[in-house]
């Protein structure tokens, strides 16, 4: 049986704070907003934030929703049009409240990549394919 990835749900103890970050810093538009769940407009894969206590209730108290998270659980990757766009977007995000992790640099795999964190500590990347690589693809 073939399945299709339809959505990504970020779990948080503070849905409102995290949703504000994704809306105000990253520019996502809200489609649904309830106290325990927020869904954003996004082409392709649905992006949402859901409260850990609600998921605990939905899964009959499964321990993974009760335990405190340790370390990185996932990464969202945002592709930009150019290395210059990566640098400009990165600075914009940091000025608006993202936590700077690694400023954009040219990586050995042919991308210009920078890493930032959201208020829950999830680290995400901005990247662009470097021009010398793009014409070879």
The predicted-structure confidence for 100-110, as pLDDT tens digits, reads as follows 999 999 999 99
Write the pLDDT tens digit of every residue in 9-59. Answer: 999 999 999 999 999 999 999 999 999 999 999 999 999 999 999 999 999
Helix, coil or strand: residue 73: coil
E strand or H helix at 116, and its extent? strand 111-117
CA distances to 26, 43, 53, 127, 133 from 82, rounded to whole Å, are 17, 20, 40, 8, 12
The band of 92, judged by pLDDT with boundaries at 50, 70 and 90, is: very high
Mean pLDDT rounded to a whole number for the chain: 92
Contact 119, 21 (CB under 8 A): yes
Q: What is the pLDDT of residue 133?
A: 55
Question: Which domains does the chain carry?
Answer: 7-65 (3.10.180.10), 77-134 (3.10.180.10)
The band of 4, judged by pLDDT with boundaries at 50, 70 and 90, is: confident
Across 1-98, the runs of DSSP E, i.e. the strands, are 7-12, 30-34, 37-40, 46-51, 77-79
The band of 137, judged by pLDDT with boundaries at 50, 70 and 90, is: very low
Q: What is the mean pLDDT of residues 85-105?
A: 97
Distance (Å, whole) CA 112 – CA 131: 10
Q: What is the mean pLDDT of residues 127-133?
A: 85
């Amino acid at each position: 049986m073939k399945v299709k990835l339809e959505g990504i749900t970020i779990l948080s103890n503070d849905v409102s704070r995290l949703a504000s970050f994704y809306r105000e810093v990253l520019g996502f538009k809200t489609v649904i907003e309830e106290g325990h769940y927020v869904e954003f407009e996004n082409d392709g894969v649905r992006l949402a934030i859901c409260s850990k206590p609600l998921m605990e209730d939905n899964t009959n108290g499964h321990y993974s929703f009760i335990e405190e998270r340790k370390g990185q659980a996932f990464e969202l990757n945002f592709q930009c049009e150019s290395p210059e766009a990566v640098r400009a977007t990165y600075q914009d995000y940091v000025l608006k409240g993202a936590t700077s992790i690694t400023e954009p640099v040219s990586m050995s795999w042919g991308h210009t990549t920078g890493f930032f964190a959201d208020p829950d500590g999830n680290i995400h990347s901005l990247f662009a394919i470097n021009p010398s690589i793009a014409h070879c693809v």
